[in-house]
Amino acid sequence: MEWPLTSGSYVVGDSNSPVAVVTLASENLTDDLENYAICGTCFTENFGIEKVIVNVLGNANISTLIVCGEESLHFCGQSIMALYENGIWDTGGFRKIVGSRAVLPYLNEIPLRAINRFIREIKVVDLVGTTDPTVIQESIDSCRDSSRSEASVVSMPEIDEDNWRKYESLVTQSMISHLKKRGGSGRIYLSHSDFVASIFKLSKSSSPVSCSLRFLVSDKILTLNPALFIFPR
């Protein structure tokens, strides 16, 4: 089967290299690096991480994932490290990354066996926040050739509004919970597919604010109305 297995914003290098690199929100780092099998960005704590897992497992030569670059507002880097260190747990049918600071750190689009194999077989190097190409390149070059027994072919559906819709109730619950805890005014970042969708100001009232959001998902518009969205600063 042709590799990489799923689409994304990445560059394919030497497929025989034991190293994959994810540069998080730093889109230009790829140009300054070499000797990797695949190198690309990751912006979301759910579908983005799942794409990384699928492509890493899809090449038996890859045994190390280096996580570097500027952290995204979705805490993707922190979430990958939390997955590597703590694993996941099932909460109401949603597989949640234990210890993630992200809003929706759920991995439900790929098989559980793939997630467990990623945790078991891939060494993850924490360079989150590092944007110096020299430091990252040294880490790439220090990785020894240690291929895995075999590649794992994992299918992943294309992401559209139906994939996002399943999380609507979780986001609503999150907003209500944070409104009850905070109750004040502030700048709130709203997460969606690859970037911060909007910024709202909350009133000083402790009651939830109902609002309509239009989420850009791929090339389509998803409207959640009414919806309650609030996340920690």
**10-32 confidence digits (pLDDT tens):** 999 999 999 999 999 999 999 99
Cβ-based neighbours of 92, under 8 Å, separated by 6 or more: none
Q: Does 98 score more than 90 pLDDT?
A: yes
Are 124 and 151 contained in the same domain? yes
Name the residue range of residue 173's domain: 162-227
Per-state percent for the chain, helix, strand, coil, to nearest 5: 30, 20, 50
Of 157, 182, 204, the last residue of a domain is 157
Note whether residue 2 is domain-resident.
no
Shared-domain flag, residues 20 and 130 = yes
Contact 159, 217 (CB under 8 A): yes
Task: Assess if residue 34 is contained within a domain.
Answer: yes
- pLDDT band, residue 150 (cuts 50/70/90): confident
| Domain count for the chain | 2
Is 219 among the domain residues?
yes
Percent of the chain with pLDDT over 70: 64
Q: Are residues 181 and 150 in the same domain?
A: no
Establish if 233 belongs to a structural domain: no
Average pLDDT, the chain: 77
Partners of residue 123 on adjacent β-strands: 64
User: 94-97 and 64-69 as β-strands: parallel, antiparallel, unpaired?
Assistant: unpaired
Query: Is residue 3 domain-resident?
Result: no
Residue where a domain stops, chosen among 105, 133, 157: 157
Q: Is residue 137 part of a domain?
A: yes
Residues 89 and 44 in one domain: yes
Q: What is the pLDDT of residue 206?
A: 31
Q: DSSP secondary-structure letter at 1?
A: -
Confidence (pLDDT) at 101: 93
Question: Does residue 201 or residue 149 have the better pLDDT?
Answer: 149
Which position has the token pair 């670059």? Answer: 69
In a domain, 5, yes or no: no
**Domain identity same for 170 and 201:** yes
Q: Tell me the mean pLDDT in the region 117-128.
A: 96
Q: Is the pLDDT of residue 156 over 80?
A: no
pLDDT for the residue 93: 84
Q: What is the mean pLDDT of residues 53-81?
A: 95
Residues 190 and 133 in one domain: no
C-alpha to C-alpha distances, 132 to 5, 20, 26, 70, 204, nearest whole angstrom: 29, 17, 11, 10, 42
pLDDT band at residue 79 using 50, 70 and 90 as cut-offs: very high
Residue 1, in any domain of the structure: no
Domain final residue, candidates 157, 175, 205? 157
Rounded to two decimals, the pTM is 0.74
pLDDT more than 90, % of the chain: 55
What digits encode the pLDDT tens for the residues 159-200? 666 666 777 677 666 666 655 555 544 444 444 433 333 333
